[in-house]
Chains A and B, each alone.
Chain A
Amino acid sequence: MTTPLLEVKNLRVQFPTRRGLLTAVDDISLTIAPGEVLGVVGESGAGKSLTGAAIIGLLEPPGRIASGEILLNGRRIDNLPPDEFRKIRGREIGAIFQDPLTSLNPLYTVGRQITETILTHLDVTPAQAKQRAIDLLNEVGIPAADKRIDHYPHQFSGGMRQRVVISLALAAQPKLIIADEPTTALDVSIQAQIITLLKKLCREHGTSVMLVTHDMGVIAETADRVAVMYAGRIAEIGPVAEVIHNPQHPYTVGLMGAIPNLGEEVERLTQIDGSMPRLNAIPTGCAFNPRCTRKGEVGVRCTTERPNLLNAGNTQAACWLYSDTGTTNTTNTPQSVAA
């Protein structure tokens, strides 16, 4: 097996508050292979965006990495001083955020923002940087790029702005892109354009992507593997087709049933009663146990002991239902299922 591009080991993100320490991301481990697209899904508050922010070193204080390691190409990056990290951010890890209007500076032309990134990270002359910026804008499908480069973000529409953000993320040819809800603010027709573009560019450049989203449809189309998060932990991780068609964790099963599907007539959608626990009231044992319909099958273990990722079918699920079938994988480290 090739060495993973990104390896996250037992990552824990905590927020100290007046009412005690809140653990928003709790002991997460995952890997991303070169050229792979890993989808991270979950509902609001599952910790998916924070995982992305931790990897790219943009956790907002007082949030901090309490324990765990993040390795990029085998090099540890989570303990780098801010100055060192700035060299990595943009150069080796690019980022795309949800709202294209707030992730661009309204006071600078898009050309200036892209050339600035190129000049910071690559050894080129300003003229070469400008040419490269125009090429990038062309590549992401902005018409008349040589004129548009002197325009300000407000002169672009939402979809066009997100294209600019993608070109910005690709500017220094990073090996990994963290895309946090890149299409959530866009209409469906524009969403299709952006996803197709992102897929095409990453395939051409061999870039790995960590795609954080709540939209299972986007994941189904784009990702190779998917991690389903619940209350700060990975509930299930595996190849995308397996997780969607043959989910193992009761939460994933419920989640898949809750999504209305086109052309499929169901009288009622599967309903997961209750809601995700608050961070200061995460149940003991499996965090999903109060809402789980199958906890009776296992017994008290669900309410007392936290399950790690276990082999379940062709995926790995953090659920005691699979404690006999799979070998216990004590470190909560997903074994690579993808070939």
Chain B
Amino acid sequence: MKNSNVLLEVRDVAREFDVSKPWLNRVIEGQPKSILKAVDGVSFTINRGETLSLVGESGCGKSTIARVVCGLYAPSRGSVVFDGVDMAKASVNEQQQLRKRFQMIFQDPYASLNPRWRVGKIIAEPLISHGIMTDKVEIKKRVDQLLTQVGLSPLDQEKFPHEFSGGQRQRISIARALSSNPEFLVCDEPTSALDVSVQAQILNLMKDLQREFGLTYLFISHNLAVVSHISTRVGVMYLGRLVEMADTKTIFNRPLHPYTQMLLSAIPDLKMTGKQRTPVAGEVPNPLNPPSGCTFHPRCPYANDRCKSEAPKMIVADDGSMVSCHAVEEKRIPIRLAA
């Protein structure tokens, strides 16, 4: 198992949040507890050296998955298996060893760097806390090297985060994430807070680093164009569930799930081919009270009675692509090829 191609496996992970009112209010008002199912039974695997992206609209649970994978949230159900080791069952010692091998990059480079620490200290933190290096001179050398790798100057160690622009700060976050030589990076919307020209710099840098160090990425984004550029495989999420997953080419050229088709047709057309966007009626329902059956049925043009009552199962095709939709299973949807 250790040497298999699969680096990370997420098995039927669910994460619930208790968003009830305080106990006293509940008793007086006679209300039950309200549980928000942010992620509801998601399974996927990530192979070594690939980039798996999760896309979806706000509230679909993509960031929650990233946090569960990193161990920032404990899953309410299911398990996360990293390199053959179940994270929940591993001993504290083992967990620490595993933690070294993955790191996270967050969305907001303004909030994820300590404003009172110098950049050198920020980048060295994983080295020190994992006990990888203790010698000060050695640490400084490593930080120099990391800063150069991400396109900054070694002299920047002495500066504070506020002296940098958004793009440069995101480079610092990447340098920090790389410092413990991880194999796996979880990137939660790493370019959403950045301007397009800076976004291009960061995406190029991430691709370069992947090639150089053989990194594996779990990439979370709502921007389909960015996702199509960087990913090997793409998973589409809706209301806490994975609705479709396939390799990038397949999903963009031949989307199967009606929600994926909808998302793709909603992207503005930069080439101005005159293709009309099909605005889809409706909005994401309240996750506290999700629709019965397939959660997408109130917005789905192909929904029938079965969709309203029975939640669809994941259908796995021969090429490894997955889709969860009754209409696809029953071949009720005309396959839409992208122009």
Contact = CB atoms under 8 A, between A and B. Distances in A.
Given A255-B197, A268-B204, A260 B229 contact: yes
Nearest to A187: B57
Given A192-B266, A257-B200, A269-B204, 18 more contacts: A43-B195, A43-B197, A44-B195, A160-B283, A190-B57, A190-B283, A191-B268, A192-B278, A217-B269, A220-B268, A258-B197, A259-B270, A261-B225, A263-B338, A267-B207, A269-B200, A272-B201, A275-B167
Contacts of A244: 270, 272
B277 interface: yes
A262 interface: yes
B228 A263 contact: yes
Contacts of B280: 189, 192-193
Contacts of A270: 200
Contacts of B229: 260, 266, 269
Contact of A189 (B57, B167, B195, B272): B57
Contacts of A3: none
A262 B200 contact: no
B70 interface: no
Contacts of A255: 196-197
**What bracket does the count of chain B residues touching chain A fall in?**
35 or more
Interface string A189-233: 111110110000000000000000011111011000000000000
B270 A196 contact: no
B58 interface: yes
Contact of A269 (B58, B203, B265, B278): B203
B279 interface: yes
A215 B268 contact: yes
B263 A189 contact: yes
Interface in B204-236: 204, 207, 222, 224-226, 228-230
Contacts of A275: 165, 167-168, 197-198
B206 to A, nearest CB: 11
Interface of B: 57-58, 165-168, 195-201, 203-204, 207, 222, 224-226, 228-230, 252-253, 262-272, 277-281, 283-284, 338
18 contacts: A43-B195, A187-B222, A187-B284, A188-B263, A192-B265, A192-B268, A193-B281, A217-B268, A217-B270, A220-B269, A220-B272, A257-B200, A258-B197, A260-B230, A269-B200, A272-B197, A275-B198, A276-B195
A260 B204 contact: no
Contact of A188 (B201, B222, B253, B283): B222
B225 A191 contact: no
B179 to A, nearest CB: 24
A271 B168 CA distance: 14
B222 A271 contact: no
B228 A271 contact: no
Contacts of B58: 187
Interface in A90-146: none
Nearest to B193: A44
A165 to B, nearest CB: 16
Contacts of B284: 187
A260 B201 contact: no
A191 B265 CA distance: 12
A254 B271 contact: no
A189 B252 contact: no
Interface residue SS majority, chain B? helix
Interface residues of A, number: 44
A282 interface: no
B277 A261 contact: no
A241 B267 contact: no
Given A254-B197, A260-B225, A188 B57 contact: yes
Given A216-B196, A275-B165, A262 B252 contact: yes
Closest 4 CB pairs of A and B: A217-B268, A258-B200, A260-B229, A43-B195
Contacts of A272: 197, 200-201
A163 to B, nearest CB: 11
B200 A271 contact: yes
A273 interface: yes
Given A187-B58, A262-B224, A271-B201, A214 B266 contact: no
A159 interface: yes
B246 to A, nearest CB: 15
B195 A260 contact: no
Contacts of B199: 258
A157 interface: yes
A160 B207 CA distance: 38
Contacts of B263: 188-189
Interface string A268-308: 11111101100000000000000000000000000000000
A155 to B, nearest CB: 12
Contacts of A190: 57, 283
Contacts of A276: 195
Contacts of B267: 188, 217, 262
Nearest to A141: B281
Nearest to B278: A192
Contacts of A221: 268-269, 272, 277
Interface centre among A218, A255, A275 (most CB of B within 10 A): A275
B272 A43 contact: no
Contacts of B224: 188, 262
B278 to A, nearest CB: 8
Contact of B252 (A44, A188, A245, A263): A263
Contacts of A191: 266, 268
Nearest to B168: A275
Contacts of A220: 268-272
Contacts of B207: 267-268
Nearest to B208: A268
B194 to A, nearest CB: 9
Nearest to B259: A189
